[in-house]
Amino acid sequence: LSVAELFLLQVIFDHEGIFLHPTPDEGSPDQDLLVSGSLRIIEKDSSSVVEWAQCPGEKSQSRQLLETQQSYETEWDMVNAVSFKKKNYTNGESDHERSRWAFSVNISDLKSITVKEEGWTFLILQLKDSSSSVPALHFHQGGSREFLDSLRRFALLTESPEDETRLLVSTPNKALSQSFENLLDDNNFGLIHKFKRDPYVATLGGFSKVTNYIYDALRGTEEQQQRPPEEVADLLGEVIPGLEINQQEEPGFEVITRIDLGTRPQVSRAEPVSADDWSKHQDPEGRIENEAALRQRIFKGGLCHAVRREAWKFLLGYYPWTSTLEERKSLQKTKTDEYFRMKLQWKSISEEQERRNSRLRDYKSLIEKDVNRTDRTNRFYEGRNNPGLTLLHDILMTYCMYDFDLGYVQGMSDLLSPILFVMENEVDAFWCFVSFMDQMHQNFEEQMQGMKTQLIQLSTLLRLLDLAFWNYLESQESGYLYFCFRWLLIRFKRELIFSDVLRLWEVMWTELPCQNFHLLVCCAILDSEKQKIMEENYGFNEILKHINELSMKLNIEEILQKAEGIYLQIRSCKVGVRFSPPRCEPGHHGNVTPTQLHLFTEAVSTNYQFCTEMRDTSY
């Protein structure tokens, strides 16, 4: 490689002591031969590769000798990225011997990775091209977990439904990438390249930049998408007790769902809960009385701003609903001590210590960037040297100490900002934020499992509610509603004006009329836009552009009315499910009770299983 080429490379993962176990049919005369080498993940321009090469000067050794060493998996965190250093070959084995077992694989060519254990971890990489293969990688001295974590920066790894030891690899689609490059301009560098590096910052910076990644992640492979009809029948039978499904022997039968939604009821909103209303729900010792009725009032009308500072602490679980005023004072004192102990942990780190802690440096850098661009038009955060910005920064840094595994991910500042605005207190804002993050944690985890699940739930829900609209979106390659990614990631924070965000969040925190009410909010917005989308015959990019342009133009009261109406409509509808071969007469039908229809707002795991428990609500 030339010096110029070296500067274009970035080594994301580098680990020596990764062994191959060549077999006689792979050219090894010794069935117990072990070959030690270095495994790397290297990024160059827009491509990324996994490569293994025998370590210079390393001699092959027998398996018996190696197995006398203790096998272990290191618990150290790997350095996210290291500067590329060209290694000089030393005297010893020839170039031919060193390159004998070497291989390099583009990550986009990977189909799956099987993780096996034999006293140590070894990985079997399967390529999309079945005519090619690479040897298994044996991690006798640890590093397998760090390797997979690094690989997740470039691909989505999902567990195969057929084999829990097998991870299916999905990477962004290049053809779709180009359509997004053209949709929104970015003067720095390619949007898709940006998204591959960090899906959160790319998504928050531009609405449609996320789509191709989520598209591939949800589409997955052929084996993920197909499910035998009899298995679907079993799943539906578990969720809907008493539902009769006619399972016939002939091949080619499919599940057909018939929904009679009926008329959507008219819904009215109420006035916000006032300070007097709130105080009437407290006994002389400060306990909240008739919690269920109070939650219902908040769901129907929200809270006046004067009440929010106290009420949000209950809604978020910081204060127990049954606690007295004295118990809350004691709790606040304990939590204050705990907060400042954690804050002292990062405040007392010296510059020298920080230089040796790359993860903390990365968290700090991201937080500083995000704080300087979060809600700067809001009076609480506007202007230079604003104390609100300092509090925002300090709370996010302290959260890194509270949950160092997650640390800070871009988008979390959007969730904290309204809470701090309402609390106007560092400690209270922190613990309320902790409670909110407990709900939102999966949205920000590296594998994005929470986001993937919600998008599939939302797609399934829309399909049940409005099959014609869903079919139209599907025909435009938009059936998985990946353009709703930002809505779900930060709970509509970038779609609504600030005061409407406060109203929506407090309504959702009541957990009425169901825990996944935010999915019905999505359906309400899409229901309002479907006529324009379909009449104008919007295509893939036009749909994304239109949804993006809804930001700051939505009326929260109208959305909440419609979302509640949709819930009531679902609750009272009738559903028929049957198995029928194509072009044949309908089979047997079975109806479900209204309360069982609650499943549609809770429904569907990542591989399309209806898996929620049926439950009544007091709504």
**The predicted structure's pLDDT at residue 199:** 46
Q: Is the pLDDT of residue 276 over 90?
A: yes
Q: Looking at the structure, do residues 206 and 153 belong to the same domain, yes or no? A: no
Per-residue model confidence as pLDDT tens digits over 133-191: 889 999 888 888 889 988 888 888 888 888 889 999 887 544 333 333 333 333 333 44
* Residue 82 three-state SS: strand
Residue 295 to residue 307: CA distance in whole angstroms? 14
Which pLDDT band holds residue 24 (cuts at 50, 70, 90)? low
**The predicted structure's pLDDT at residue 247:** 44
- Using a cut of 0.85, tell me whether the model's pTM lies above it: no
**The predicted structure's pLDDT at residue 306:** 96
Q: Is the pLDDT of residue 210 over 70?
A: no
More confident call, 98 vs 461: 461
Question: For the chain, what's the residue count?
Answer: 619
Q: Is the pLDDT of residue 213 over 60?
A: no
Note whether residue 241 is domain-resident.
no
Q: Looking at the structure, do residues 136 and 117 belong to the same domain, yes or no? A: yes
Note whether residue 85 is domain-resident.
no
* Backbone dihedral angles phi then psi of residue 44, each to the nearest 5 degrees: -135, 120
**The predicted structure's pLDDT at residue 573:** 74
Residue among 401, 405, 408 nearest 371 (CA)? 408
Q: Looking at the structure, do residues 369 and 427 belong to the same domain, yes or no? A: yes
Which pLDDT band holds residue 472 (cuts at 50, 70, 90)? very high
**The predicted structure's pLDDT at residue 32:** 55
Residue 367 to residue 406: CA distance in whole angstroms? 13
Tell me what the mean pLDDT of segment 209-233 comes to.
44
Q: Is the pLDDT of residue 96 over 70?
A: no
**The predicted structure's pLDDT at residue 372:** 92
Note whether residue 14 is domain-resident.
yes
Note whether residue 332 is domain-resident.
yes
Which pLDDT band holds residue 215 (cuts at 50, 70, 90)? very low
Percent of the chain at pLDDT exceeding 70: 68
Tell me what the mean pLDDT of segment 289-300 comes to.
97
Q: Do residues 430 and 385 lie in contact, with contact meaning Cβ atoms separated by under 8 Å? A: no
Q: Where are the alpha helices (DSSP H) in 539-604?
A: 540-548, 556-572, 599-602
**The predicted structure's pLDDT at residue 230:** 54
Token pair listed for 538:
């919007």
CATH number, residue 107: 2.30.29.230
Q: Is the pLDDT of residue 393 over 90?
A: yes
Q: Looking at the structure, do residues 153 and 14 belong to the same domain, yes or no? A: yes
Per-residue model confidence as pLDDT tens digits over 342-353: 999 999 999 999
Q: Is the pLDDT of residue 130 over 90?
A: no
Say how many C-beta atoms besides its own lie within 10 A of residue 404's C-beta: 13
Residue 581 to residue 587: CA distance in whole angstroms? 9
Q: Looking at the structure, do residues 185 and 133 belong to the same domain, yes or no? A: no
Tell me what the mean pLDDT of segment 450-475 comes to.
92
* Backbone dihedral angles phi then psi of residue 198, each to the nearest 5 degrees: -155, 100
Q: Do residues 605 and 469 lie in contact, with contact meaning Cβ atoms separated by under 8 Å? A: no
Residue ranges making up the domain that contains 159: 7-24+33-55+101-171
Tell me what the mean pLDDT of segment 22-48 comes to.
71
**The predicted structure's pLDDT at residue 93:** 44
Three state DSSP letters for 192-222: HHHHHHCHHHHHHHCHHHHHHHHHHHHHCCH
Q: Is the pLDDT of residue 419 over 90?
A: yes
Q: Looking at the structure, do residues 328 and 206 belong to the same domain, yes or no? A: no
Q: Is the pLDDT of residue 457 over 80?
A: yes
* Backbone dihedral angles phi then psi of residue 10, each to the nearest 5 degrees: -135, 125
Helix axes 449-465, 467-475, angle to 10 degrees: 120
Which pLDDT band holds residue 57 (cuts at 50, 70, 90)? low
**The predicted structure's pLDDT at residue 90:** 39
Mean pLDDT, the chain, whole residue set: 76
Q: Looking at the structure, do residues 155 and 15 belong to the same domain, yes or no? A: yes
Q: Looking at the structure, do residues 195 and 111 belong to the same domain, yes or no? A: no
Strands 137-139 and 254-260, bridge-based pairing: unpaired
More confident call, 470 vs 617: 470
Note whether residue 42 is domain-resident.
yes
Containing H/E element for 35?
Answer: strand 33-44
Q: Looking at the structure, do residues 128 and 178 belong to the same domain, yes or no? A: no
**The predicted structure's pLDDT at residue 133:** 83
Listed residues 384, 418, 443: the one ending a domain: 443
For 330, how many CA atoms within 13 A lie in the half-sphere containing its CB? 6
Note whether residue 324 is domain-resident.
yes
Q: Is the pLDDT of residue 286 over 70?
A: yes
Q: Is the pLDDT of residue 594 over 50?
A: no
Which pLDDT band holds residue 447 (cuts at 50, 70, 90)? confident
Q: Which amino acid is at 582?
A: P
More confident call, 74 vs 59: 59
**The predicted structure's pLDDT at residue 619:** 62
Listed residues 171, 198, 229: the one ending a domain: 171
- Any idea what the Cα angle at residue 459 is, between residues 215 and 158, rounded to 5°? 45
Which pLDDT band holds residue 25 (cuts at 50, 70, 90)? low
**The predicted structure's pLDDT at residue 66:** 39
**The predicted structure's pLDDT at residue 259:** 61
Percent of the chain at pLDDT exceeding 90: 49
Residue 572 to residue 58: CA distance in whole angstroms? 71
Q: Looking at the structure, do residues 158 and 43 belong to the same domain, yes or no? A: yes
**The predicted structure's pLDDT at residue 8:** 53
CATH number, residue 368: 1.10.8.270
Note whether residue 75 is domain-resident.
no
Note whether residue 202 is domain-resident.
yes
* Backbone dihedral angles phi then psi of residue 51, each to the nearest 5 degrees: -135, 145
Q: Looking at the structure, do residues 188 and 151 belong to the same domain, yes or no? A: no
Q: How many domains does the chain have?
A: 3
Q: Looking at the structure, do residues 153 and 194 belong to the same domain, yes or no? A: no
* Residue 463 three-state SS: helix
More confident call, 282 vs 178: 282
Residue 15 to residue 588: CA distance in whole angstroms? 59
Ramachandran bin of 608, using left for φ above 0, alpha for ψ from -120 to 50, beta for the remaining angles = left
Residue among 198, 174, 173, 194 nearest 184 (CA)? 194
* Residue 83 three-state SS: coil
**The predicted structure's pLDDT at residue 74:** 32
Tell me what the mean pLDDT of segment 584-589 comes to.
35
Listed residues 424, 443, 462: the one ending a domain: 443
